Amino acid sequence: MTVLARLEHIVKDFGAVRALDDVTLDINHGEVLGLMGDNGAGKSTLVKTIAGNFQPTSGSYSLDGQPVHFSGPAEARRHGIEVVYQDLAICDNLTAAANVFLGREMMKRVGPFKVLDHKGMNRRANEIFKELKSETRPAALVNRMSGGQRQAVAIARTRLSESKIVLMDEPTAAISVRQVAEVLALIRRMKDQGLSVILISHRMPDVFEVCDRVVVMRRGRKVADKPIAQSSPEEVTGLITGAIQSA
């Protein structure tokens, strides 16, 4: 496996709060990385630093060996880093296709004007949903969709461009068991397509089901980083609570 992104000695302070404390982490091509830890451990901060929402206080960050300094999420997106936000960042009053293309609408020419290409966007969104093997109808409104379908809409957004890393912050937090399975299947499909995925989750079974590697954070520090096959739910639980110092 080759390294796609490398974080070295990353520190992130919010005033007096040290949210990330000397975190060093490699993200490999085509791997699903599980990120676990208690509330406030720094998981979201780490992911937001990778996504360009936050600039680290100190430390270095490189992609494919090139140092990067993202001024914001838009710049990170141009480098192939996509985020599926925790609250899903979806507009309920729009269709699935409109959400997928939000901010990146396909346009077509009508005489001297450029207008929204509804058909084109529906068609492309439908292709992406098929790729993801999700039964999401592009022209249906999102407010009538299940949690799994909404997740598919959020993930489909990341498939519009040539993304390399997809960051998912607790995608399974607020959905039913059947829908969790759907989301996990979506994650596997992204991995099959060669993407790297970072999955933040509180759900131990999810992490052990789809992840190749698990990283545990505690109070801003990385306390474990190992292949999932060499760990166990008991060990991870101990690492999260602090019963086990590090592994």
**Contacts with ligand ADP, residue ranges (CB under 6 A):** 14, 17, 19, 37, 39-45
Cβ 97 to ligand ADP shortest distance, Å: 31
* Choices 14-22, 39-47, 81-89, 167-175 (CB under 8 A): range interacting with other proteins: 81-89
Rounded (5°) CA angle 33-147-136: 100
Write down the residue that tokens 């759907």 correspond to: 182
Residue linked to tokens 């991995």: 191
Residue 140, contacted partner among Mg ion, ligand ADP, other proteins, none, CB below 5-8 A by kind: other proteins
Using CB under 5 A as the binding criterion, the count of chain residues that bind Mg ion stands at: 1
**Contact status: 91 vs other proteins (CB under 8 A):** yes
Rounded-to-integer distance, Cα 18 and Cα 123, Å: 46
Q: Which does 41 bind (CB under 5 to 8 A by kind): Mg ion, ligand ADP, other proteins, none?
A: ligand ADP
CA distance 90 to 86: 11
Per this entry, what is the length of the chain? 247
Q: Closer CB to ligand ADP, residue 67 or residue 242? A: 242
> For residue 135, how many other CB atoms are within 10 A of its CB?
12
For residue 141, give both structure tokens.
């409104």
Closer of 39 and 66 to Mg ion (Cβ): 39
Shortest Cβ 141–other proteins spacing (Å): 5
Cβ(47)–Cβ(169) below 8 Å: yes
**Which residue type sits at 214?**
V
44 binds Mg ion (CB under 5 A): yes
Nearer to Mg ion by Cβ, of 41 and 155: the residue is 41
The three-class DSSP label of residue 127 is: helix
| Size of interface with other proteins, in residues (CB under 8 A) | 33
Q: Which does 94 bind (CB under 5 to 8 A by kind): ligand ADP, other proteins, Mg ion, none?
A: other proteins
